[in-house]
Amino acid sequence: MSTSPQASGLGYHHVDVFSRTGYAGNSLAVFLDPPELTAKQLSRVTQELRHFESIFVTHTADARVFDARVFDLEGELDFAGHPLLGAAAVLHLASDVAMGIETCWTFQLPARTVRAQTHQHPDGHVSALLDQGRPEFIRTLSPEQAPAIAHALGLDRGDLDPTLPLEVVSTGLRYLIVPVSDGDALARAHIQHSDFDRFLRDLGAQFAYVLDAEALEGRHWNNDGVVEDVATGSAAGCVAAYLLRHRLARDGVELGLKQGRFVKRPSVIAVTAHGTTNVVERVTVGGDVAVVGVGLLLEAPALDVS
């Protein structure tokens, strides 16, 4: 199967992550060995394609080690789950790895190094698994903070699950996990705070993830509340750690976290936490990846020298 554009310019692969078939899951543009570009140029490329994120990976001297940079529509990210899974799948398909053989890929992001494993199924699609390492439990919020958090998300205090805490967890990005009482509350959730970014910073978080723990389904938005994410790999690792910590998951047992139903892009994220309720040692996040197509940008954005 050929998956590489055969022309000069900025070639990329359009993949859907967390879905076995195209036109579902979370879309992504993967650029292999792009020319040397500035962060501003990479950001403009991402904005041009309008995927949630783009990833730019470059070979190193080691055939299985790559430098990687991830951008969303706002700018560069320190870490993101679904771009790394999508990039690993593209690399697997572009390599000479035999069907069914598991392969490990190392990505050197500016802030950290992570590893992903891939294997190809008989029908041609690839599954990828990312080890997000040891999670950090940053902060448990007080019950007195719950009404303000609920209101910021368009909910009432009674919509929050009274048996689970509001907690900030990180595997690279800091997510406020907001457990809700049922699927109805999940369906009604939306960001209505006028400055949600600042609101979260004051709580020690960067983003929020609303979770129906019983149904294992979640939702996440950009902090402006305009765009809802389809499947959030970085948050899924935090959810896995949260579930094990609060006895809703078992050591080493994979769970399927659903997301994307409300934007008609159903996705299933495979999450596994390892350790105990007291010490969560590491979490993995994975899923299927479908290659939808390949493309070519004829030229890079102009270098902004202003």
Model confidence at 277: pLDDT above 70: yes
Mean pLDDT to the nearest integer, 146-154: 98
Q: What percent of the chain has pLDDT over 90?
A: 87
Strand bridging mode 174-179 / 207-212: parallel
Range of lowest pLDDT (10-14, 109-113, 235-239, 247-251): 109-113
Q: What is the mean pLDDT of residues 174-195?
A: 98
Mean pLDDT of 34-46: 95
> Do the strands 53-59 and 26-32 form a parallel or antiparallel pair, or are they unpaired?
parallel
Name the amino acid, one letter, at 193: H
Count of beta carbons in the 10 Å neighbourhood of residue 193: 18
The answer for residues whose C-beta is within 8 angstroms of residue 198's C-beta and 6 or more apart is none
131: pLDDT strictly greater than 70: yes
Q: Is 27 exposed, middle or buried (0-12, 13-18, 19+ CB in 10 A)?
A: buried
What's the pLDDT band for 237 if we cut at 50, 70, 90? very high
The pair phi, psi for residue 28, each rounded to 5°, is -160, 145
CA atoms within 13 A on the CB side of 267: 33
Residue-wise pLDDT tens digits, 81-130:
899 999 999 999 999 888 888 999 999 999 889 999 999 999 888 999 99
Q: Is the pLDDT of residue 305 over 80?
A: no
How confident is the prediction for the chain on average, in pLDDT?
94
The most distant pair of C-alpha atoms in the chain lies apart, rounded to whole Å, by: 59
Enumerate the CATH 3.10.310.10 domain ranges in the chain, comma separated: 10-133+289-297, 136-286
Residue type, 172: G
Q: Of all residues in the chain, what percent carry a pLDDT higher than 70?
A: 96
**pTM for this prediction:** 0.87
pLDDT tops 70 at residue 166: yes
What type of residue is 291? V
58-64 average pLDDT score: 95
Is 9 a residue whose pLDDT tops 60? yes
Query: So what's the pLDDT on residue 5?
Result: 47
pLDDT at 74 over 90: no
Percent helix / strand / coil, the chain, rounded to 5: 20, 35, 40
* 263-294 CB burial, b ≥16 within 10 A, e <16: eebbbbbbbbbbbeeeebebbbbbbbbbbbeb
Token pair belonging to 40: 């501003």
- Distance between CA 7 and CA 287 in Å, rounded? 30
Q: How confident is the model at residue 3 (pLDDT cuts 50, 70, 90)?
A: very low
pLDDT, position 8: 61
User: Scanning the structure block, which residue is given the tokens 């053989």?
Assistant: 101
**CATH T-level topology, domain 136-286:** Diaminopimelate Epimerase; Chain A, domain 1 (3.10.310)
Cβ count within 10 A of residue 133: 17
CA 63 to chain centre: 25
- Determine whether domain 10-133+289-297 maps to CATH 3.10.310.10: yes
**Is the distance from CB of 16 to CB of 292 less than 8 angstroms?**
yes
48 catalytic? Reply is no
**Residue 30 near residue 87 (C-beta atoms within 8 A):** yes
Per-residue confidence (pLDDT) for residue 97, from 0 to 100: 85
Q: Which of 36, 53, 76, 167 is catalytic?
A: 53
- In this predicted structure, the answer to whether residue 220 has a pLDDT above a threshold of 80 is yes
pLDDT, position 217: 98
The Cα 164–Cα 276 span in angstroms is 17
1: pLDDT strictly greater than 50: no
Q: Which two tokens stand for residue 144?
A: 């007195």
Least confident span in 37-41, 48-52, 258-262: 48-52
Q: Does residue 306 surpass a pLDDT of 60? A: no
pLDDT in tens, 223-234: 999 999 999 999
Q: Is the pLDDT of residue 37 over 60?
A: yes
